[in-house]
Amino acid sequence: MGQWFFLRALWEEDGLTQRELSHRVGMMEPTTVTAVNVMEAQGLVQRVRNSHDRRKMNVFLTDKGRALRDTMMPSASEIAQIAIDGIAPEELDVTLDVLRRVGANLNAACAAARDGEEG
């Protein structure tokens, strides 16, 4: 389950840097590094040094990682339908709006704390 968010981001745009991947999934960079390490050990992704900035590593799906999309996406759709069964669309809209604002507040607090540490 922990890999799902990372795989999904890479299915949408392969070759993200580890930092970009962290931002896309809303995880801290150390969490992303751990997840990428595990996925690399499982043969789902590979790291490639960025040709423009040698300090950066880009994460690319392997054939095995790409193939999981066809297996996992239909299951994800089914699970999503089960999760929202019996919930009115208006309630879902409000819930998602509130969760987005909660996430934005937490991201802003993390950024402020990071800026405070750097300053």
- What integer is the mean pLDDT of 52-61? 92
State the Cα–Cα distance between residues 78 and 56, nearest whole angstrom. Answer: 37
Contact, 82 vs 75, CB < 8 A?
no
Higher pLDDT, 86 or 113: 86
90-101 confidence digits (pLDDT tens): 999 999 999 989
State the Cα–Cα distance between residues 75 and 15, nearest whole angstrom. Answer: 25
Whole-number pLDDT of residue 98? 94
Q: Tell me, yes or no, if the pTM score tops 0.75.
A: no
Architecture label for domain 1-85: Orthogonal Bundle (1.10)
- What integer is the mean pLDDT of 78-87? 90
State the Cα–Cα distance between residues 9 and 15, nearest whole angstrom. Answer: 10
- What integer is the mean pLDDT of 34-59? 93
- What integer is the mean pLDDT of 68-75? 84
Examine the pLDDT at 1 and tell me if it is beyond 70: no
